[in-house]
Amino acid sequence: MIQAYIEYWKQYFNWSGRTTRKSFWWVFIMNLVIVFTLILLCIVTTGTAVVLSLDFEGFNVATYIFGSLLILWSLATLIPTSNLGIRRVRDAGLNPWIWLLSPASSILGGFNNFPAEIVSDILFLAFLGLALMPSKKGRISSRSQSQGLLIIAIGLIALVGFSVVNLPAKADYIVQGLPQTNLVVSTEITQKLDISTMSAQDRQEIISLYGQDGWVVSSDGLSLTRKTAPEGSDITVNGKNYQANAQGQVETTLPAGIHATVTTPVVDSGGEKIIAPTAGAGTVKVDKEKTQNVTVKQMMNVSAIIMQMDTENIAQKQSINITDKSIGIQLLAVGLSPKVGTAFRVGQKVDCNDFNAPLTNGVHYTSKTSKQFIFNFINSDCYKVVTGPFGRYWDTCRKDNFRFFGSKYCRSGNGACSALQKMPRTYHLMGTNGRVTRK
């Protein structure tokens, strides 16, 4: 047995000559034991689904070692094993071209359909049956070396070429045959609005007003919070893109036991990012259950967002705080652009429609923490986008970020929040029914 194995390696590039039945089967069995041992060690260290799906996130050091040894072993034995087979066929007195049954069997086995797999098994068993035939004396052609090289080259080129193209699909086909889990990824954003700078009486008015829209006061009474699910946001699971439904969820089916990489939009608001899993590429271990629920939680600081609206215009505004609508009209009449702190009339150009709500007094206030600004903000166009299910404020309004021509969130006169909701870009008034009452 040992001698046969030594000869197997010594004849690495020998495409001529013969190999006896006994030598062939000793080498075949030893290689089979080595390959199955390495595969078993890979599976034991991480699990079948992790290995077959090449889930590198689930690999540990031992898996990488055994996996690397398996790859190196397969590559190292590819040529001598092929030579062994062609010498065995020749020793049995058969035409050496019959060896092509072996790579043909492997190629057909790579197709993801039952008939091809059956034919593959038949060809493989036929080749092994021919390898069981006893040695037959006869003259070996003087061109056996070149002939053997040609046969091996044709078979291996076809096999390697097909494997490169088809193996990923075959691996996916095998993985899909493993136990599956329905992975439900939910996204949940907790919005926070700071009202700590207001008087106790003003806070009570704000709490009562915002409570009608689902906001809950904190235990200390200094902030309001509300949980939302961003409808339509893009969520990626293992490289495949999905769009969240009205509940902020996506559902996919994955093999049980693998590690799924979940990527969700990261809320950028005042430095508060994501809670769990990690932002951008959270890794989730898929349990062996019929359905597994994973929730990605984030915190959105709404106060931090509205404080950044019209920042440059605040610096440019006139020192006086104009609250009379008639004065605002006079300013337009002399050709001046209205700034933050002025009263607006319907049809004027605005940067952010964050004060066109049903309860607005039509004035865009400088202080974003004042009671009147918060009254003007709720159910305005910008409120709908920032706190609504769109999940697009940081993607859309922030695209108006031109270093020299506008503010961070809304470029001058653009009305990005309104445009996102298909509302007029100019100043307009919204009704309690969510429709434009005057434009």
**What is the tens place of the pLDDT at every residue in 184-217?**
888 888 889 999 989 999 999 999 999 999 999 9
Question: What is the model's pLDDT at position 34?
Answer: 94
Q: Roughly what angle, to the nearest 10 degrees, separates helices 114-131 and 101-109?
A: 160
Would you state the pLDDT for residue 253? Answer: 85
Architecture, CATH, for domain 180-303: Sandwich (2.60)
Rounded distance between C-alpha atoms, residue 269 and residue 266, angstroms: 9
How far, in Å, CA of 391 to CA of 224, rounded? 19
Q: CA 324, 435, 389 angle in degrees (round to 5)?
A: 105
State mean pLDDT over 102-107. Answer: 89
236 is written with which tokens? 């990626």
Assigned token pair, 275: 């809670």
Span 171-196, average pLDDT: 81
- Per-residue confidence (pLDDT) for residue 394, from 0 to 100: 54
Q: At 252, which helix (H) or strand (E)?
A: strand 249-255
Across residues 286-312, what is the average pLDDT? 75
pTM: 0.59
Alpha carbons 76 and 231: distance in angstroms, whole number: 53
Residue identified by tokens 């390696």 is: 9
**pLDDT at position 150 over 50:** yes
* pLDDT single digits (tens) 353-412: 888 888 888 888 877 788 888 989 999 888 888 887 644 555 555 544 444 444 455 655
Residue 97's pLDDT is 92
Is pLDDT at 323 greater than 60 in this prediction? no
3-state SS class at 260: strand
b/e for 72-100, b at 16 or more Cβ within 10 A?
A: eeeeebeebebbbbbbbbbbbeeebebbb
Instruction: Report whether 108 contacts 123 (CB < 8 A).
Output: yes
Instruction: Say which DSSP state 404 is in.
Output: T
User: What residue spans of 245-353 are helical by DSSP H?
Assistant: 302-307, 311-316, 325-333
Sequence spans of domains, the chain = 2-176, 180-303, 308-438
Min mean pLDDT across 40-44, 67-71, 97-101, 160-164 is at: 160-164
Q: What pLDDT shows up at residue 190?
A: 84
Task: List all residues 6 or more positions away from 45 whose beta carbon is below 8 Å from its beta carbon.
Answer: 60, 62, 63, 66
pLDDT higher than threshold 70 for residue 336: no
How far apart are alpha carbons 288 and 198 in whole angstroms?
A: 51
The residues, ordered by sequence, that sit 6+ positions from 366 with a Cβ below 8 Å of its Cβ are: 314, 317, 321, 340, 341
